[in-house]
Structure 1
Amino acid sequence: MDLTGLGTILLALVISILFIYSTWDKLYRKRNLPPGPTPFPLIGNLLQIKKGEMVKSLMEMGAQYGPVFTFYFGQRPVVILSGYQAVKEALIDQGEDFSGRGKMVSVDKIFDGFGVVFSNGERWKQLRRFSLTTLRNFGMGKRSIEERIHEEAQCLVEGLRKYNKRPTDPKNILPQAVSNVICSVVFGNRFEYEDLKFLKLLNQFSEIFTLMSSTWGQLQELIPTIMEYVPGPHQKINPIIERLLEFVAERVKINEASIDPNSPRDYIDCFLAKMLQDNENPTSEFNKRNLLLTVLNLFFAGTETVSSTLRHGFLILMKYPEIQGKLHKEIDTVIGHNRSPNIEDRSKMPYMDAVIHEIQRFSDVIPMNVPHTVIKDTTFRGFSIPKGTDVYPLLCTVLRDSSQFSSPEQFNPGHFLDESGSFKKSDAFMPFSTGKRICLGEGLARMELFLFLTTILQNFTLTSKTRFTESDIAPRMTGFANVPMDYELSFIPRVA
């Protein structure tokens, strides 16, 4: 090899070393961030994640590095909060500092900071305030929305009777019933369970949930710069969201053609009226893009999370028939068979209330939470977190905190019952997150879970030919969402 060739190799080596050192310095020596595993250039802490087990891996690192640690998603440092106390201190005690919405690579290309869930600053404040007020005006937390849920629950019972005890996958009918409640608020009408267009939309919701939680979806969040150029199932997420947006846009056009601003029929009408009202206001965030993306936020969140929780719940109640038997007994005692359940029954049914809370705690549908970000330079537990740093408050570590729950890895309704059998609250019950970014639809979801589950158990016994195991009912703890296993069950009518 001549000297010129050797010089070229040495120069390339020096440049490579300088690049690695520069990247390393930028990655790892950045101010007083919390401790954490040593990252590598470009891939960050990817090698610390067990294949397909992002959530489990982060939980294990919390045990190793403490309740506050730094983890690198590619070259981006992210602060992870583990356990009830750390999450409470951040989201409640320092709630304003941690009130920003963080990056979520799998959906950011489309949402790009628009819509009530993924926006920040003044945009988020305007959209959240408007959405809370509008949802309340359409009955959220009131008798009128209870009546809508009650009517849908009766439609669901009639639909389940048509299976005539035959085994069925609950995904075949449950998402339609749950989604129809939020559809009646957002779109002003419900859909028939056999509506093929509606079924296709709900299947797409489920597919997004599954893709974001898969190994491919996890890699997309962990090393986004690389995965953007890698073909795979994760590349289907944005096209699916685009198709869902097309449906929302069609519904908005229908409303635009027939709106009476003085007599709004649904959320879309209210938003359109607000757009007209604020037409001359340059600081208003009420525009078409925010309308489309906020409606999609509400539609998606109001469908998939409650539906997944109920599917987890059915699975658990078949694994523990003695718990299902106690629920049947409480329903028969408090409600009987001659009337439908109402929300006032909940205060008289501590066991049902405890079981529903435990289903939510144990199934842990959104284990990592939706990412937050600090809106200013923040000091937390002696560490410096620069403005704009993303934060993951792990809800799974709150719902499984052994200092708050006596047997966190087991399904145990006793977590929410006192010694006398009365319902007992827990500050660590945070399936809807907590603080300023708590889920908009918490009140609706809680009402739906009680009325749907109680109505179904008033009318049916849940059975399956499959003997489910502890492993079957345990949440997978993989990525964005805990999706229950596929299974079939039979709805056996109860004799009054």
Structure 2
Amino acid sequence: MDLWGLTTSVLVGCVLLLIFLSQWIQRLKRGKLPPGPTPLPFLGNILQLDFKNMIASFSQLADKYGPIYTLYFGSKRIVVLYGYKIMKEALIDQGDGFVDRGSVPIFDDVIKRKGIVFSNGESWKQMRRFSLMTLRDFGMGKRSIEERVQEEAQCLVEEFRKTKGQPTDPTFILGCAPCNVICSILFRDRFKYNDEKFLYLMKLLNENFQLLNSRWIQLYNFLPGFRVYLPGKHKIFFKNVKELRHFILERVKEHQTVLDPSNPQDFIDCYLSKMQQEKDNPHSEFDLENLVMTGGNLFAAGTETTSSTLRYGLLLMLKHPEVQGKVQELPCLQTRLTFPALYLAQGLALLS
């Protein structure tokens, strides 16, 4: 490259950089944002955070800028609420203003604002209202969720008994139990813990939870403008979500062939019946895509949260055996169940 060409390239690069910096500065001045540390172009405030101790970083920033402050993760602007009082004021006292879910690139691309967890507006309201109603009044007189939890708790206790008091890692079976409850709610079937389809479903869920915490997924969310060109593990995440969608869609097709709207047997039946009722409504949010995504949300949200609750419950019981003895003496719905049943019921409550 000759000197003239090199000079031209440098000048063009400088002009583009100045334009970017100008837009960046204008963006920082735009709107009435809470105070916060000055961000760097491209990087934002990530160099000012200790990713090994994020709580300490947020606490230090709150001490300096107050309970409400602004951070930038790359080019993404985030307003942080720090402390119980301000969180209560925002999420409880002014809850209607905070009902929408923020944008997360990995979920925007794979879920496309369908289902319950990452949808907003009217779609979210309809899906949430229907799901809560169906979970609370499930089966229209048939077996309640409470009975399904007790049934699965007994199976979980039997799995523990098979260890015969030997040291064991309970992580897997503590994930199987809540997943089975959700399976029975969605399509009225539970699986044996060694069933191949069930094991594959658990593999997909567990792998995706691990991938969400990986650096590749964080990079994907950090640089959304470049995500089309990024290699990495997000492709595995997409593949697993596709497999989970296929798993649920196959069950939906099976239900469609034998559906009796007057006698729904599970969540999918209730949803398909609702779809028929809404078929002449052009603004209805009840379609197959929302059904599949809502089912996936129930799997993901219910399995991991309940499994974590159970694991922490076990750890607390091991640390405080005197409390464990008291819990084991409690009658649970007229049945003497050990503490996993109590925690399974508590964890499932997180769904609502």
Q: Aligned equivalents of 1:23 and 1:189: distance in 2?
A: 56
Q: Shift of residue 306 of structure 1? A: 0.6
The superposition leaves residues 409-458 of structure 1 with CA deviations (integer Å, 9 ceiling, x where unpaired) of xxxxxxxxxxxxxxxxxxxxxxxxxxxxxxxx98833699xxxxxxxxxx
Q: Aligned equivalents of 1:226 and 1:47: distance in 2?
A: 21
TM-score by length of 2: 0.88
Structure 2 match to 1:326:
323
Structure 2 match to 1:77:
77
Structure 2 match to 1:206:
206
Q: Aligned equivalents of 1:191 and 1:63: distance in 2?
A: 51
Does structure 2 conserve the Cα–Cα contact (< 8 Å) formed by 1:73 and 1:221?
A: no
Structure 1 match to 2:181:
181
Cα distance, 1:54–1:206 mapped onto 2, change above 3 Å = farther
Q: Secondary structure at the match of 1:79?
A: strand
Q: Aligned equivalents of 2:29 and 2:209: distance in 1?
A: 36
Q: Aligned equivalents of 2:134 and 2:10: distance in 1?
A: 66
Q: Secondary structure at the match of 2:207?
A: helix
Bigger fraction of residues in helix: 2
Equivalence map 1:272-283=2 (5 Å)? 272-283=272-283
Does structure 1 conserve the Cα–Cα contact (< 8 Å) formed by 2:44 and 2:74?
A: yes
Cα distance, 1:51–1:82 mapped onto 2, change above 3 Å = closer
Does structure 2 conserve the Cα–Cα contact (< 8 Å) formed by 1:43 and 1:223?
A: no
Q: Secondary structure at the match of 2:128?
A: helix
Q: Secondary structure at the match of 1:78?
A: strand
Does structure 1 conserve the Cα–Cα contact (< 8 Å) formed by 2:105 and 2:221?
A: yes
Q: Shift of residue 51 of structure 1? A: 4.7
Structure 2 match to 1:391:
none
The superposition leaves residues 86-136 of structure 1 with CA deviations (integer Å, 9 ceiling, x where unpaired) of 111111111111111111222221211111221111111111111111111
The superposition leaves residues 193-249 of structure 1 with CA deviations (integer Å, 9 ceiling, x where unpaired) of 111211121122122112212333333333333455332334322211111111011
Q: Secondary structure at the match of 1:77?
A: strand
Q: Aligned equivalents of 1:168 and 1:46: distance in 2?
A: 40
- Number of matched pairs: 348
AA at the equivalent of 2:218: Q
Structure 2 match to 1:92:
92
Cα distance, 1:18–1:324 mapped onto 2, change above 3 Å = same
Q: Secondary structure at the match of 2:97?
A: coil
Cα distance, 1:30–1:330 mapped onto 2, change above 3 Å = same
Structure 1 match to 2:306:
306
TM-score by length of 1: 0.64
Q: 1:136 and 2:132 equivalent? A: no
Q: Shift of residue 186 of structure 1? A: 1.1
Structure 2 match to 1:44:
44
AA at the equivalent of 1:239: K
Q: Aligned equivalents of 1:446 and 1:286: distance in 2?
A: 24
AA at the equivalent of 1:328: G
Structure 2 match to 1:375:
none
Structure 2 match to 1:249:
249
Q: Aligned equivalents of 2:350 and 2:22: distance in 1?
A: 50
Structure 1 match to 2:32:
32
Q: Shift of residue 24 of structure 1? A: 1.8
Unaligned stretches of 5+ in structure 1?
347-355, 357-440, 449-496
Task: From 336, 339, 349, give the equivalent of 1:340.
Answer: 336
Does structure 2 conserve the Cα–Cα contact (< 8 Å) formed by 1:107 and 1:238?
A: no
Q: Aligned equivalents of 1:164 and 1:28: distance in 2?
A: 62
Cα distance, 1:275–1:143 mapped onto 2, change above 3 Å = closer
CA-based RMSD of the aligned residues comes to 3.2
Structure 2 match to 1:478:
none
Q: Secondary structure at the match of 2:78?
A: strand
Q: Shift of residue 266 of structure 1? A: 0.6
Structure 1 match to 2:171:
171
Q: State the identity as a percent.
A: 47
Q: Aligned equivalents of 1:181 and 1:174: distance in 2?
A: 12
Q: Aligned equivalents of 1:317 and 1:26: distance in 2?
A: 55
AA at the equivalent of 1:163: T
Q: 1:445 and 2:349 equivalent? A: yes
Structure 2 match to 1:376:
none
Question: Greater RCO between the two (CA within 8 Å, min separation 6)?
Answer: 1
Does structure 1 conserve the Cα–Cα contact (< 8 Å) formed by 2:298 and 2:351?
A: no
